[in-house]
A and B are shown apart, each in its own frame.
Chain A
Amino acid sequence: MSYATSSDQSQMMSSTPSPSDASAVPDLVRIGQIPSNTAIDIETDVLDPVVHTDTFCRFQFQNKGILHSNSKIVLRLKTNSVAGYLPVGVGIHSLIQRVALRCGTKTISEIDDFAHYIAYKSMFLSNEQQKQRELFISGRRLAHKPYYSEGGNDWSGADAVLQTEAQRVGLDVGVQTESTRTQNDGNITDRLFVKTSAAYGPEFSVSIQDLFPFLYTNQLPLFMMSEPVTIEIFFNKSVNERMCLPESASGVAATTAFEIDTTATELIADYQYFPQEMMEQYAAQNANLSFTFMDYRLAKRTIPVAATGTEASTGQLIVNVGGAGRLVTKVFTALSDDNVKGISMLQNYHSKSLTRDYTAAEDLRFNGVLTANAKYNDHFLYPVDVDNSAQQFHNLTQGEGMVPFVYREEYNFEGQGLASGLYEGHSQKNEVSGLAGQFFYQCYKLNRNERINSRGIELYNTWDKLKNSKSSGTNTFTLRSYVELIRVAQLVDGKMEVFFA
């Protein structure tokens, strides 16, 4: 089915052009089309970080040309005798806790809890892109395929059944699943190049436009900027926040440190050069250059979960996520289980669905329900609280302008279609260490085109039972709400100013 890319993501460039030949020079920093006979030179610099520890690194660009938004930062983990693997959903982004793009002392864009943010965004990459590109670029590999009954060492039975039956859907990382006619759920061993070993540390790259989303539509005219432009990356802790562990090694999850190989970290910066007179004209015309872009603000809240067996509904929780006085286009939320980290194939970068019961007496069975709404400027976003998970999925799609490529049971933990085959020893259909109910993200598209009043945005959520992943004692979940708001960057005489729209 067709779908459209988001119009919400559009960012507008505006400038005060000089009266003369305003239309002669194409908009060089807005990603789009330029005349095909325009000569473009690309110069690639490999930049080492100016500061680098296991928790932080900083890169500084040279102020030349126009920065290509798909420039890459290469990251590598040190070798490790424990065979950890990168989280399926976010890949190498699991190393990153916070990113900031600064111009001089001013912060242009900054995203906190970045790995959680990118876990949400990665859901919207098509399965084809995950399997065929991201698996090799960033280590993200959340692609699916039906698990046919064929394969393995058992070819007995009717051909038609062996070749057409696929009761389950599971991960597809481009390797064969071990399945037989009787055990048709299929086990998978992950790709070696996403795992640490005593002789190998996985190395992947992250695109700077993934780090700073406004670069998807704009490029930085570094040659017009007089202040130093830097990227700062704060890394997640080395223990239990970066890597996942196979089931066999889950006992050392809380003690094994996966360190970054600082000798490998580098920024591959592509600078674009257009014909000199064109760039000079552009700079002259755009002495006062401004553009609007989306930035994200994080609001966090802890939600307690009672001990196993006594879990209950949270009751209605009203969470104020901020946004007062701002132009906000949407809010998306993730609810992560603080106890689930290295023992899950997604690490902590997931969003939990409600628990379910498919084995009780028929009338007592249930799929947990989230009842959700948002309120701003004294009005609710939805006329009726939304408690249908498929409608919540639709709202997510509407908010992002793109469909998430996740399977039904992965989203709302409904149905029984995920493979029980083992992935690094974890059952794919497991709701703690696997994929089931781990992508229950919510998105609220604030479509009234209003500036948020001083009360801010309030999310009204009632969760049914949330499953406690601990065998004993209480647990906590963290609700992360990312508020997408509009900011304006202004480049005047080489100096960048940033303010809220």
Chain B
Amino acid sequence: MSSRQNLQVTPSNHTSTGKISYKDGNPLIQFIIGEQDRMLIGNSVRLVGKFNVFKADGTLSTTPLRMSEQLGLYSIIDSLTIKSQATHQVIEEIKHFQRFMGSYLPVTSSEQDNAGHLTETALTSVNYVNQQHTVVGMPTSNATDTKKGGNSFCINLPCGLFNGQNPIPLMANGAGGLGGLLVEIQLAPDSNVLFDATGTSTSADVKDAFYELNNLSISAEVMTPDPSLQVPPASTFEYNSISSYFTTFNSTNAIVNFNLGLSRVLGVFGNIISADKINNRGENGLANNFPVNSGIIKVNDVNVAEAPAKIQQLFFTRGGERFPLEYNIDTVQKDSSVAANAASDVADTQIVQNYMNAITQFSKLRRTSTNPLNTKYTAGTPAVVNIKVDGGSSAGIGVAYDVISGQGVDFSSVNWGMNMECLLTTDNPQAFYLFVHSKQTLAFSGDGISVVR
């Protein structure tokens, strides 16, 4: 009979103080789950530790300093890389991890999740004031005994490899395994995690404020296979993966093209933020909003600062042909024949539905925070974006390619494209983070591993 054991792994590059922060020059955390004759249960992997936020002088943080209530602790992870410990070959790498979570988390967790278990494990919250009050403003952050101070957290690390159903073989390459795993977490800069809720980046409460981690470890379950049922070592291992891409657009007709180089693409989804808000302590650099204009423009004869650039048409292409939708999504805002439609602030439901479907099969989506309130078109000013209800803005764009067979669509030799018409009439570059969900295969041999994308 197979049995399981628990592991607890501390960072291999830990500091002498046990405290890790981007500010102090420790942006990279490494964990080694060593080569062994056991299998890792991917969905049991958790990053455990304590989280604190301080002002520049090391005193307790105060309002208006904030962080994303939607992402909580996930906002500090800039990239997640999983390598083979034996060969250091990259198995999976998710850049802009917090942007990925900015799409994944609100779409797959409900308001009650955000008011319940996610507050405990990931330090998220259902409301921005609540998160600021309970996490950022934690009164015990300066406790002498670090185990008794700060915010406890225990988060999973969503990625294709760990979310898969199959146990991950940790054996040597020649024995049908990955040769152990090296998990690397690149921390996000303080300036993209912490921000001033009122949009003032230079106040003493916000300027040079920083976050800090301590008592870090990874906990996981491993499985020892039943010795009486030893099967010959496998030579391949199939898993889902997330690949990340980044581009900007600054036009009423945003055309995005990528050569994905992936042969089994299940879906693509992305989110958008004005480029000037990234790494800006006066702005929430992790907000998801639809495109917005810069400055003040007239909308329906009213002056609006950073007015939304509403999407009027959207379609996706594969090799230059519309695919998988063989038609344009003409949004309700494109309908100029009805004034109320053109002026509508509600994101077109077809855009929202396709976006959610790209992340999790829509018909199986049982819990979500995404709703008309946090996907509607709003101005991009801090006074609007930073105070959205129901966990914050959940806007995004995406499309699923295969929710039936699970085998995906081949983009290895043809370009992926997106064509979007929107009302971005001013000079305001929009950062577009794209994530591709695809199936990949690891091939093992005594010489090492190779990833078949």
- Chain A residues near B (Cβ < 8 Å): 1-2, 126-128, 143-146, 148, 160-161, 163-169, 356, 358-359, 362-369, 381-384, 387-391, 393-394, 397-398, 403-409, 411-412, 414-417, 447-450, 464
A-B contact pairs, 23 of them (CB 8 A): A1-B113, A2-B108, A127-B115, A127-B116, A160-B383, A166-B130, A167-B129, A168-B130, A168-B133, A169-B126, A169-B127, A362-B142, A364-B143, A368-B148, A384-B217, A391-B219, A393-B121, A394-B48, A404-B116, A408-B123, A412-B152, A415-B134, A447-B6
> Smallest CB–CB gap between A164 and chain B, Å?
4
CB–CB A388/B117 < 8 A? no
Is B228 engaged at the interface, CB distance under 8 Å to the other chain?
no
Residues of chain B with a CB closer than 8 A to A358's CB: 139-140
Interface size on B, residues (CB 8 A): 64
Assembled-state Cα–Cα distance A106/B60 (Å): 62
B133 pairs with A164, CB closer than 8 A: no
Per the bound structure, the CA–CA distance linking A356 and B112 in Å amounts to 26
Residue from the list A384, A405, A447 in contact with B5, Cβ < 8 A: A447
B336 at the interface (CB under 8 A from A): no
Q: Does B144 contact A (CB under 8 A)?
A: yes
**Separation of A17 and B93 alpha carbons in the complex (Å):** 52
Known: A366-B145, A388-B215, A404-B117. A169 touches B130 (CB 8 A): yes
B3 x A450 contact (CB < 8 A):
yes
The answer to whether B389 and A1 touch across the interface, beta carbons within 8 angstroms, is no
Interface string of B106-132 (1 = CB under 8 A from A): 001110110111111101011111100
Do B6 and A382 touch across chains, with their CB atoms under 8 A apart? yes
Quote the shortest CB–CB distance from A191 to chain B (angstroms): 20
Distance between B391 CB and nearest chain A CB, rounded to angstroms: 10
> B433 in the interface, Cβ–Cβ < 8 Å?
no
CB-contact partner of A164 in B1, B60, B388, under 8 A:
B388
Say yes or no: B117 contacts A397, CB within 8 Å. Answer: yes
Once A167-B129, A390-B154 are accepted as A-B contacts, the answer to whether A408 and B119 lie under 8 Å apart by CB is: yes
Q: How far is the CB of A433 from chain B (nearest CB, A)?
A: 21
Question: Is B44 in contact with chain A by the CB < 8 A criterion?
Answer: yes
User: Is there an interface contact between B8 and A416, defined as CB atoms closer than 8 Å?
Assistant: no
Closest to B43 in A: A4
Residues of the A chain whose Cβ atoms lie less than 8 Å from the Cβ of B144: 363-364
Contact B148 A363 (CB under 8 A): no
* The 6 A-B residue pairs with the shortest CB-CB distance in the complex, in nearest-first order: A415-B134, A447-B4, A390-B154, A166-B127, A390-B152, A417-B134
Residue of A nearest to B133 (CB): A167
Q: Which residues of B contact A160 (CB under 8 A)?
A: 383-384, 387
Q: Is B7 an interface residue (CB 8 A)?
A: yes
Tell me the interface secondary structure of chain A in the complex.
loop
A363–B360 CA distance with the chains assembled, in angstroms: 45
B143 and A366 form a contact (CB under 8 A):
yes
Min Cβ gap B410→A in Å is 28
A144 B112 Cβ-Cβ under 8 A: yes
**Distance between Cα atoms of A364 and B145 in the complex (Å):** 8
Q: Does any Cβ of A come within 8 Å of B147's Cβ? A: yes
CB of A131, distance to nearest CB on chain B (Å): 9
A140 to chain B, nearest CB (A): 15
Nearest CB in chain A to that of B115: its residue: A144
Q: Which of B2, B60, B121, B128 has the most CB of A within 10 A?
A: B121
Interface pair A146/B130, CB less than 8 Å apart: yes
- Chain B residues with Cβ below 8 Å from A126 are 112
**Cβ 8 A contact of A381, one of B6, B137, B360:** B6
Are the CB atoms of A127 and B112 closer together than 8 Å? yes
B189 in the interface (beta carbon within 8 A): no
Closest CB-CB distance, B52 to chain A, in whole Å? 12
Contact of B7 among A1, A366, A383, A397 (CB under 8 A): A383
- Taking CB atoms, residues of chain A closer than 8 Å to B130 are 146, 166-169, 417
Question: Which one, A143, A362, A412, contacts B120 given CB within 8 A?
Answer: A412
Chain B residues within CB distance 8 Å of chain A: 1-8, 44, 46, 48-50, 60, 105, 108-110, 112-113, 115-121, 123, 125-130, 133-135, 137-140, 142-145, 147-149, 151-154, 215, 217, 219, 221, 360, 366-367, 383-384, 387-389
Does B116 lie within 8 Å of A144, measured CB to CB?
yes
Q: List, in ascending order, chain A residues with CB within 8 A of B389's CB.
A: 163-164, 166
- A447 with B3, Cβ < 8 A, contacts A388-B154, A391-B48, A407-B119 known: yes
Q: Are A394 and B121 CB-contacts (below 8 A) given A2-B360, A165-B129, A388-B50?
A: yes
Closest to B104 in A: A1
Cβ-closest chain B residue relative to A126: B112
Q: Are A417 and B6 neighbours in the complex by a CB distance under 8 Å?
A: no
Contact, CB under 8 Å: A449 / B3: yes
Which A residues touch B142, using CB under 8 A? Answer: 362-363, 365
Nearest residue, chain A, Cβ from B221: A447
Contacts of B123 in A (CB 8 A): 408
Distance in angstroms between the alpha carbons of A165 and B142 in the assembled complex: 27
Complex formed: what's the CA distance from A146 to B140 in Å?
24
Q: How far is the CA of A5 from the CA of B289 in the complex (A)?
A: 34
Q: Is the CB of B138 within 8 A of A415?
A: yes
Please tell me which one of the listed residues B46, B149, B388 contacts residue A365 in the complex, with CB atoms under 8 A apart.
B149
Contact A145 to B115, CB < 8 A, known contacts A164-B387, A388-B152, A411-B120? yes
Looking at the assembled complex, report how far the CB atom of B45 sits from the nearest CB atom of chain A, in whole angstroms.
11
A366-B149 Cα distance, complex, nearest whole Å: 5
Q: Are B143 and A1 touching (Cβ within 8 A)? A: no
Nearest CB of A to B188, in Å: 20
**Min CB gap A418→B, angstroms:** 9
Which residues of chain A have C-beta atoms less than 8 A from B383's C-beta?
A: 160
Contact yes or no, A365 B127, CB < 8 A? no
Would you call A394 and B129 a contact (CB within 8 A)?
A: no
B115 surroundings in chain A (CB, below 8 A): 127, 144-146, 169, 407
Contact present for A165 and B127 (CB under 8 Å): yes
Let me know if B5 and A369 touch, CB within 8 A: no
A409-B388 Cα distance, complex, nearest whole Å: 23
* A391 CB contacts on chain B under 8 angstroms: 46, 48, 152, 154, 219
Name the residue on A nearest B154 (C-beta): A390
**Separation of A447 and B49 alpha carbons in the complex (Å):** 23
Contacts of A447 on B, CB cut-off 8 Å?
3-6, 221
B105 near A415: Cβ-Cβ < 8 Å: no
A150–B142 alpha-carbon span in the complex (Å)? 34
Q: Is the CB of B108 within 8 A of A417?
A: no
Q: In the complex, are the beta carbons of A367 and B367 less than 8 A apart? A: no
Residues of the A chain whose Cβ atoms lie less than 8 Å from the Cβ of B128: 164
Q: Output the least CB separation between A377 and chain B (Å).
A: 11
With A and B bound together, what is the CA distance between A414 and B137 in angstroms?
A: 12
Contact A409 B3 (CB under 8 A): no
A128/B116 in contact, CB under 8 A: no
Question: Contact: B148 with A369, CB < 8 Å?
Answer: yes
Contacts of A405 in B (CB 8 A): 112, 116-117
What is the distance, in angstroms, from B384's C-beta to the closest C-beta of chain A?
8
Q: Nearest chain B CB to A97's CB is how many angstroms away?
A: 29
Q: Which of B2, B112, B113, B153 contacts A449 (CB 8 A)?
A: B2
CB distance from B427 to the nearest CB of A (A): 28
Residue of A nearest to B391 (CB): A146
Check B153 against A390 for contact (C-beta < 8 Å). yes
Q: Which residues of A contact B133 (CB under 8 A)?
A: 167-168, 415-417
B94 to chain A minimum Cβ distance, whole angstroms, is 16
Q: Which residues of B contact A416 (CB under 8 A)?
A: 133-134, 137, 139
Q: Smallest CB–CB gap between B256 and chain A, Å?
A: 28
Q: Which of chain A's residues have a CB closer than 8 A to the CB of B217?
A: 384
Chain B nearest CB from A387 CB (Å) reads 6
Q: Are A363 and B6 in contact (CB under 8 A)?
A: no
A448 touches B140 (CB 8 A): no
Chain B residues contacting A417 (CB-CB under 8 Å) are: 119, 125, 130, 133-134
New A-B pairs, 7, CB < 8 Å, besides A2-B366, A383-B6, A406-B120: A1-B108, A164-B388, A168-B130, A168-B133, A368-B148, A415-B133, A416-B134
Q: Pick from A127, A364, A365, A382: contact of B8, CB below 8 A.
A: A382
Shortest distance from the beta carbon of B143 to any chain A beta carbon, whole Å: 5
